[in-house]
Structure formats: C-alpha cells, structure tokens
Structure 1
C-alpha cells in the first residue's frame, strides 16, 4: 500500500510541475513591459482605448496612441518596500501606488470614440504628465505625455477615477472593468 501511494504521488507531481512552469510568464504568456492594445471589457462590451483626455471644461490635454502600451500584470506581491536597496528592483503594484496617490477627478468612457475622459478642477498643471491605466489585474503605462488637445465632443458613461502620484504620474483606475489581454 505504501508503494502504491508513493507511485501515485510521483505520477501526480509531473503534471503539477509542468502546469506551474507554463504559468511562469503569466496566464497568457504575457511579457511584462511588452506593448499590447489597451482593451477593456465592461458592461458586456469590449472597447479598445486609443485616447485619454483630461479636461477641466476650459482646456483639454490628451495622450493619443495606436500601437498599444506597456502592459504589466498587477496580481503580484509588493516587493518594492524590501530594504537594502533590493526593493528598487521591483515595480510597485498599481494597488499600492493607487493607495498612496491623491484623488484628482472622475473618469468616463466614450466607447464610440475609444476614449477615456478624465474630469478635473484644473488641467493646466498636468501638462506633460505621464499616465497609467488599470483594469482588473493589469495596467498599461501609456506611451507619450499629456499635450494640448481638443475638448471631448460629449461625455461618456462613468468608468472610474483619476489620482496623481507624488512624481506627477496620473493613475486611471477602471474598477468595474477587466483587461482583455
């Protein structure tokens, strides 16, 4: 009986090990920092995002891209606080950055224009800011920085919130949506 138990355990070990190795790069083999389309699923609709507009009603700033953005899996342990300088080697997870950032405004999605619209009190100080968009367990570091743009033609449906980090980077959280990668 002991021999049978040992052989059964041994036989089950190999499939478990191979499944673990297969997930090493993420559930779909995603390479951290590689460019992927910014595509989210919410309210039963899939939407590709190509534009982020930040507006205060008087002026608008925007980031526009077509080739995707650097994607990161955010479902991981926060090792950025590890001492001895080792923590600087690890990217701080979005959820930790979000908690430390200051609230700035609300975010809407205009699905017809593939656009996220952030509404803030004063957009002027945000000129030149970089942005990160997060949905579910993934985030995208958008290419480019906020530059003068056109005000949105109309509003969209509520989608999330906007915060700003100490270094000036904008964080867009879309809590009711999931990333499609």
Structure 2
C-alpha cells in the first residue's frame, strides 16, 4: 500500500509523536491499557476488492506494562518496543467496510528515541526477535511513521496523513 495525503511539517510531526513518547516512557511506572492508532488514505486491493481513497486504520491494543526498552547495542538506537497486544486493520471506502485481526506477533509498535521515529512494524520471516536477549534483531521491520508494502513496513517521506 502507498500512503497518500498532505505532508506534515517536521515540527508538527515531532510534537505529535512526542506525546507518544511520553506514553512509552510511562510504561514502567503504571500498567494502563493503551491503544496505538495509525491512519492513512490510500488506494489498494484486497482479493478482488479494489479500493480508491479508502481510509485505512491500523490499531494495536495493549498495556503499558508490555513496553520494553531496547538499547543501541541491540538495535542500533535507543527504542521503546511493544509487541504484545491485539492488532487490527479496518478499510473503509464508499462501498464497504472490512476489518481484519492480525495473528499474534505479526505487528508491533516502536519509538526510536534517538531519531524520533514512531510507528507500526512487522516481523520479517525467520527466527523471532526476543527483546530480553536481543536475539534476531534483523527480524524487526519498523516503518516510521506508517506504511505497508508487500507485508513489510516502508516509508516514503512526505506521504503521511495524520487525521
């Protein structure tokens, strides 16, 4: 899928995602339910259904106790990471609404504290990432701020829509 919509200024982008950073930072203090939401307007196809200018909403419901901190020696930057929760995607166009739930361990949410990237990611095929031992960090495929392309995350600057 390709994200479409007006560009977001770097200043506004950092303000919005600073708020998300605070949510990640609160992870160790008090366990609270949390919902992460990504929203894009896009064209695409799901099976035989072709959609145009559809709203695609990705949600991830979890708890702040599931936020894990990753350090530079593990993933090359300081990052907060949450892979425990329920991820769903909803596609809404003028003809229909479709909602699907991802299988566990397919989607995660991360925040790159060094470079300010926040977004959803997917795990690459192969051995799973284990945060506690930092094993298989190459399986992490974060996308900042949000995009999907053939099942893995990617991002093209200037194509994010924050609605």
**TM-score normalized with structure 1 length:** 0.28
**TM-score normalized with structure 2 length:** 0.30
Higher strand share: 2
Structure with the greater alpha carbon radius of gyration: 1
